[in-house]
Amino acid sequence: MTAMTVNERPVDFAMDPDTPLLWALRDAANLTGTKYGCGVGDCGACMVLVDGEALRSCLVTIGEAEGRSITTIEGLSRDRSHPVQQAMVAEQAIQCGFCTPGIVISAAALLRRDSNPSDAAIREAIPNLCRCGVYPRLLAAIGRAGRVRRREEVLNALPAPGISGEEAARTVPALGSGATEEETAR
């Protein structure tokens, strides 16, 4: 058994300790918001927070993650209310969306360290690859999320079509329903 905390809940993975954290999260914990892109550390689609630091989960084994606190996109906020999520919607910084969870995680980690990052700091902190090329809009979105984080702007972007934020909070997978990163930071 390899024990860690995932989205504020204790989890024991009965898997080989050399299993990449990405596989454990997606295949065992059913937290499929974390995406598999390249599997070799290039794309950032698999980014999760490990003790608050954005790391590529394809490069971290569950043995290395033992005892640590993991936050996936499902645990970042239960109702899509995290400032980065809201700003990404408001600035239309999403196209196909495959890279989006990883980018949101990278941006959330950045804003926890620095709520007023320069464009250069944003470029440095977001190594994620986006095949759709949303990079210019990302700068605007992350800058705007910083303003929300600093309480200079209130943003209530419309949720994505499909189900409401409240409905999303009710249907989030079990491991994603603990206290959120944003709630913890408040």
Residues making contact with ligand FES (CB under 6 A): 36-39, 41-46, 56, 58, 94-100, 130-132, 134
Decide whether 87 or 99 has the Cβ nearer to ligand FES. Answer: 99
Decide whether 3 or 38 has the Cβ nearer to ligand FES. Answer: 38
Residue type at 43?
C
Coil/strand/helix, residue 127: coil
Closest CB 67 distance from ligand FES, rounded Å: 22
CB 150 within 8 A of CB 84: no
Closest CB 183 distance from ligand FES, rounded Å: 27
Decide whether 36 or 169 has the Cβ nearer to ligand FES. Answer: 36
Closest CB 23 distance from ligand FES, rounded Å: 11
Closest CB 152 distance from ligand FES, rounded Å: 27
Decide whether 9 or 98 has the Cβ nearer to ligand FES. Answer: 98
Give the H/E segment covering residue 55. strand 53-56
Residue type at 33?
G
Q: What gap in Å lies between CA 72 and CA 27, rounded to an integer?
A: 14
Q: Strands, E, within the chain: which ranges?
A: 2-6, 9-13, 47-50, 53-56, 69-71
